[in-house]
């Protein structure tokens, strides 16, 4: 099935379930630190003891957009109801002061026609603000105050419409909605790629519309101590990546493997497989780009803890050519296979002669499975020799 036609949520959910079953799970020997960024991209940070709460009211629009949908809808409804009730009270007071509520003769001219109670004043307030105009009630030339209130209510109604509708539009067009279809592999892997020890992840886009000028950044978040003894609980260290297309941006049409070469400048340089499982590190991945259809900048985030980094494995291919088109099999998006990888840190590997020395030793010393296969072949050859010979 082609990736840009009909693949989508069901296959992806199956992929996630398959990853949960197939991938090995490491049992932590000690309590892990709290995750800084969740797998779905939310930041695990609670802001407490904020004394200057008034700062949020200085930017009312952003505050309304950041609220939950339930709170936003309540404010949306109450803003209109309160304004209608407020101006209904004003129209009732105008009618009461002018004597419109009392029965008069035919020659009496009221400020607003057909207002006999607060209910009729409330209905007139709704007609004025939403410009319905049923035709039964209207402002006359008798009262200047009624004309002024009519102008004020129209202006207030336009302001409420602009703010509330703009808030609803911004909430529905928020960039994080687009990030729901930007997916990351559940696990990261470390293996040899192009004769270098690399840290790799896979990311993809499920939608047909592209992410323009997409860029990927990685950070290692860990607890560190400075030379002066200061403890930094969340030390964020940028790590360099080798872009698969060789430029600053990535062309995210098909799933890509983002690679970080573990060299001397890498914060993972001194970590071996055992150290990786004993250290509390977290690799945060951030994908940023502009949505092609809306022009809004979006950002997708995820993170990988130590137990979510698989040493000695690589991602399986997902792209194949079918009937003159390239097909992407998302059921293999997070699948990995074991490959020969040094079981030491990149630092120790460089001290022992690098990848070339490792490959030489690998070819010189057959693996146990190869030795068993050779022994079985020899046993078969001996068994086929005739005793008379």
Answer yes or no: pTM beyond 0.85.
no
In the prediction, which pLDDT does 227 show? 82
* 17 band by pLDDT with thresholds 50, 70 and 90: very low
* 360 band by pLDDT with thresholds 50, 70 and 90: low
* 202 band by pLDDT with thresholds 50, 70 and 90: very high
Alpha-carbon dihedral of residues 157, 158, 160, 164, nearest 10 degrees?
140
Which residue is listed with tokens 């009618």? 95
Higher pLDDT, 183 or 51: 183
Tell me the CATH number for domain 178-363.
2.60.40.1400
In the prediction, which pLDDT does 224 show? 82
- Domain boundaries defined on the chain: 69-173, 178-363
Q: What is the CA radius of gyration of the chain?
A: 34
* 91 band by pLDDT with thresholds 50, 70 and 90: very high
Q: What is the mean pLDDT of the chain?
A: 79
Alpha-carbon dihedral of residues 243, 311, 23, 245, nearest 10 degrees?
10
- The span from the CA of 363 to the CA of 375, in Å, is 18
Tell me the CATH number for domain 69-173.
1.10.287.70
CA 272 to chain centre: 31
């Amino acid at each position: 099935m082609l990736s840009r036609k009909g693949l989508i949520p069901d296959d992806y959910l199956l992929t996630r379930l398959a990853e949960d079953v197939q991938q090995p799970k490491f049992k932590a020997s000690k309590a892990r630190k709290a995750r800084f960024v969740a797998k779905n991209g939310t930041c695990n940070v609670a802001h407490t003891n904020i004394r200057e709460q008034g700062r949020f009211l200085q930017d009312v629009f952003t505050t309304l957009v950041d609220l939950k949908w339930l709170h936003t809808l309540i404010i949306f409804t109450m803003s209109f109801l309160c304004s209608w009730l407020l101006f209904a009270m004003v129209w009732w007071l105008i009618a009461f002061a002018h004597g419109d509520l009392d029965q008069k003769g035919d020659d009496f001219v009221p400020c607003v026609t057909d207002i006999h109670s607060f209910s009729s004043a409330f209905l007139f307030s709704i007609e004025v603000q939403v410009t319905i105009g049923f035709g039964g009630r209207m402002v006359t030339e008798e009262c200047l105050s009624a004309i002024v209130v009519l102008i004020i209510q129209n202006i207030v109604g336009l302001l409420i419409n602009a703010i509330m509708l703009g808030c609803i539009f911004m909430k529905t067009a928020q960039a994080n909605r687009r990030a729901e279809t930007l997916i990351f592999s559940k696990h990261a892997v470390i293996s040899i790629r192009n004769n270098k020890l690399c840290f790799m992840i896979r990311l993809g886009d499920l939608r047909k519309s592209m992410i323009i000028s997409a860029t990927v950044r990685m950070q290692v978040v860990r607890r560190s101590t400075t030379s002066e003894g200061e403890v930094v609980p969340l030390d964020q260290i940028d790590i360099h990546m080798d872009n698969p297309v060789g430029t600053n941006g990535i062309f995210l049409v098909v799933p890509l493997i983002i690679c970080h070469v573990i060299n001397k400048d890498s914060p993972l340089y001194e970590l071996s497989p055992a150290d990786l499982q004993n250290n509390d590190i977290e690799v945060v991945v951030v994908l940023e780009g502009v949505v092609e259809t809306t022009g809004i900048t979006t950002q997708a985030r995820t993170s990988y803890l130590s137990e979510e980094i698989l040493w000695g494995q690589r991602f399986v291919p997902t792209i194949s050519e079918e009937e003159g088109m390239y097909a992407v099999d998302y059921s293999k998006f997070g699948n990995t296979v074991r490959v020969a990888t040094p079981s030491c840190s990149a630092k120790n590997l460089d001290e022992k002669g690098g990848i070339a020395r490792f490959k030489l030793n690998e070819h010189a010393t057959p693996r146990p499975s190869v030795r068993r296969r050779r022994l079985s072949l020899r046993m078969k050859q001996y068994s086929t020799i005739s005793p008379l010979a």
